Structure 1
């Protein structure tokens, strides 16, 4: 009779372990950017490329894919970040992810003229990405807002 009790408790134990190991991960946080480069994709479209640093607060490594963000400068649309490649996020560590921001060159010139007297801008990025582990991915919202000081000279 005790064997039946152990056998019936085994699935409950396995289910408990699976639920504990599949807890929802904490969102990654923006940690900075570097290596900004600019290139043209024609007469009206430009691409700003950079490496963006994120911090993974989770105690396990994960993967990030399908990033889609709208970038705003001073609350005005600036460009879009789309990333389809798969990147590894180490556990409790900062990682770099190469991104490209497509921008309209005419809008970029107009915004640069409007910013000529300012020493800082409000930078925002809103959107989502898919993060996961062991082939299971889910959509996670991403939001960033910061006042950035312009260092022109």
Structure 2
């Protein structure tokens, strides 16, 4: 009886201990900017956002809802609703389309062209997981980004 109780307690502890909480992949950079459409008030810009998965296991990115700021000014939002396979201990690209406010984009474009870099802030949430277990993780990156046009 004591042996059965021992195993019934030990097995769940081992299973939960082996399933460590995934860490959010680290932001590496942004590239391949492309203007998809120009509008009077809003435009759509596409880019590839590169991340590094420091986890020792593959992950899946199911959804992301992110706000984008350039030079501390809100410029737009991106919503990703596509499943992306993330390899362990490797870099990967996430293609994004950002709906931007044209006024903010123009004011930041002059600074970006002059200095070839801009302060960028990405803030929101991402649904990440493995083995069918998904969780919402906060996304927050802030730093200067060199722009490659």
TM-score range, shorter chain: 0.7 to 0.9
Q: What per-residue deviation string (whole Å, max 9, x for no partner) do you get for residues 45-76 of structure 1? A: 21111111111111111111221111111111
Distance in 2 separating the partners of 1:105 and 1:18: 51
**Runs of 4+ with >6 A deviation:** none
Change (3 A) 1:64 1:47: same
When the two structures are superposed, what TM-score results if normalisation uses the length of structure 2?
A: 0.87
Per-residue CA deviation, residues 103-152 of structure 1 (Å, 9 max, x unaligned), is 12233224335x27851421111111011112211111111112134567
Corresponding residue to 1:10 among 7, 10, 17: 7
Q: TM-score, normalised by structure 1?
A: 0.85
Flag the structure with larger Rg: 1
Aligned match for 2:78, one of 74, 81, 97: 81
> How many residues end up aligned between the 2 structures?
148
Alpha-carbon distance in structure 1 between the residues aligned to 2:142 and 2:114? 18
The equivalent residue for 1:32 is 29
CA deviation profile, 1:77-121 (whole Å, cap 9, x unmatched): 1111210111111111111111111112233224335x2785142
- Unaligned ranges ≥5, structure 1: none
